[in-house]
């Protein structure tokens, strides 16, 4: 059975990865705003291409963030199931100490 430290490590890694992805997503959005204000009017084709690339990256990042959330939920569920199994085992030992 995995220890609480194992679960904390898994959740910590997921939380760190999610924070990095959120920072990248926010940076992409700021970059797109900068592009919009500086060169959109003078270079519309390049701007449209840039926006498409940023939107594609943002979709990929969002998909990864969704996956990270699924992983976080799976780790929490695994921990909860381990806690429940431990509690049930302890309950059985207390109520049936001979077995």
Cβ(36)–Cβ(47) below 8 Å? yes
Q: What is the pLDDT of residue 2?
A: 61
Q: What is the pLDDT of residue 39?
A: 67
Domain count, the chain: 1
CA distance 13 to 85: 25
Q: What is the pLDDT of residue 63?
A: 92
Neighbours of 77 (CB within 10 A): 10
- Taking only the tens of pLDDT, the chain with its 99 residues reads 567 777 778 778 878 888 888 888 888 778 777 767 666 667 777 777 877 888 888 899 899 999 989 988 998 898 888 888 888 888 888 887 665
Q: Which domain holds residue 30?
A: 4-95
Neighbours of 16 (CB within 10 A): 11
Instruction: Please give the model's pTM, rounded to 2 decimal places.
Output: 0.59
Q: Where are the alpha helices (DSSP H) in the chain?
A: 4-38, 44-95
């Amino acid at each position: 059975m995995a220890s609480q430290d194992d679960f904390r490590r898994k959740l910590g890694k997921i939380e760190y990865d999610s924070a990095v992805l959120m920072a990248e997503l926010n940076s992409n959005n700021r970059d797109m705003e900068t592009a919009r204000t500086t060169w959109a009017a003078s270079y519309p084709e390049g701007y449209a291409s840039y926006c498409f690339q940023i939107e594609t990256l943002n979709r990929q990042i969002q998909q990864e963030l969704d996956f990270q959330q699924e992983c976080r939920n799976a780790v929490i569920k695994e921990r909860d199931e381990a806690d429940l199994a431990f509690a049930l085992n302890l309950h059985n030992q207390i109520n049936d100490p001979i077995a």
